[in-house]
Structure 1
Amino acid sequence: SISRALPSRPSPASQMAHAALAASVSPASSEGSFEPPAPLVVPAYLEAYGYRATDARTWRSPPGSGRGASQGRPCSPSLGLGVAGHQEIEGHTWYTLACALAGEGSARVDWTVRRRLAQLREDLHDAVQSELGEAYAKYFANTPFAHKGGLPGTTARLHGWCGTLASCINAGHTPPSLVALALHFLEAPELERFQEAGIELSDIEISFDADGD
């Protein structure tokens, strides 16, 4: 659990950032269509989830850097990420990612999203590896990414890798641009819409299904 609440009333800039991304092609709709958030909108995009960034490269308040005075909890959102399993759909293997985002004052929200191995590799893994550079080997040494071809053990490898990515994000080891990319890739729900409508996030689960390849 965490010490800072996710904002219930997003700023106009945050609303505009999410509107711009909503107008883009969904990352699940077709391979090769994923576009990460533009650097200029990263701070406003992350604001809706409770992250504080100065720009796409700099944190104003890095995840995991602060602690609640009363309960010693991180003053930032907490991302949970893993792989719950896989399904064969029209001859292709889709992996179900189990995601969660939580913040004090705003109940945890859980959702799932399906991705193919190629999407996970090209749109998420490659971006993480490129951004972290030499540090990538240090953080992911014990949880390497899955091999190409969907070999036995792929689900377990993906699960371990995703868990490490979430840990890196929660510890502040990734820049704002990479956190925004991950949330967009995972189709993280726009939490402020549920809060403004008075919906209790702990009572719902949001599921996104892929519409084709």
Structure 2
Amino acid sequence: MNATTNPRSRGRNPRGQGERLREDIVTAAVRLLDELADDQALSMRAVAREVGIAATSVYIHFADRDALVLAALEQCHRDLVRALDQAETAADPVARLRARLLHLGDWVRRHPGLYKVLHESTLNQRAAMEFKQELGERTTAAVRRCMDAGLAAPGDAAEVSLDLRAAVHGAVSMRVNQPDLPWPPLEEQIDRFLIKLAGIAPASLSQGL
């Protein structure tokens, strides 16, 4: 059954609602990428079926699959940044940094497919994703707040942030790709990263719990 005969097919959007259709297409692509865990497995026709429109309508908004996947990943990343910011509810900067890293781990647990496409897909080698820099900048700011408060070892916040992100991404990526290993609780690993890489005192971590 093709997109033009799909029983879910909907009528043409009223004038001025083209942007809404574009958003629906991107949202559908995000859902499918999370299920497929592979940008190469995504087809424009499948996205059209998910939305209930003709495949030609997808091409009106996106020239090819890469353009659609990039838009989907940008939306996914924007939503993740917002969620991580909202996770920083504590006043204590160490607790806020810890909450940010833990929430990232929880997001990956719930969306392993999106994580693989966002960080491990071939598209990363073929397209620039400048929007991913924002997440690193927010983590660096969180590390700097800990340093400014005297709760983390003094140093280069950007360097420590990079070390922390490398460690956390390694931990969550290995969980996605090797789920049967006897993993310790992610909270324990993140606490060790904060102690060893950021120089945060164990007492500061326990106070933020």
TM-score by length of structure 2 reads 0.28
Higher strand share: 1
TM-score, normalised with respect to structure 1: 0.28
* Higher RCO (CA 8 Å, separation ≥ 6 residues): 1
Larger helix share, 1 or 2 = 2
Structure of greater Rg? 2
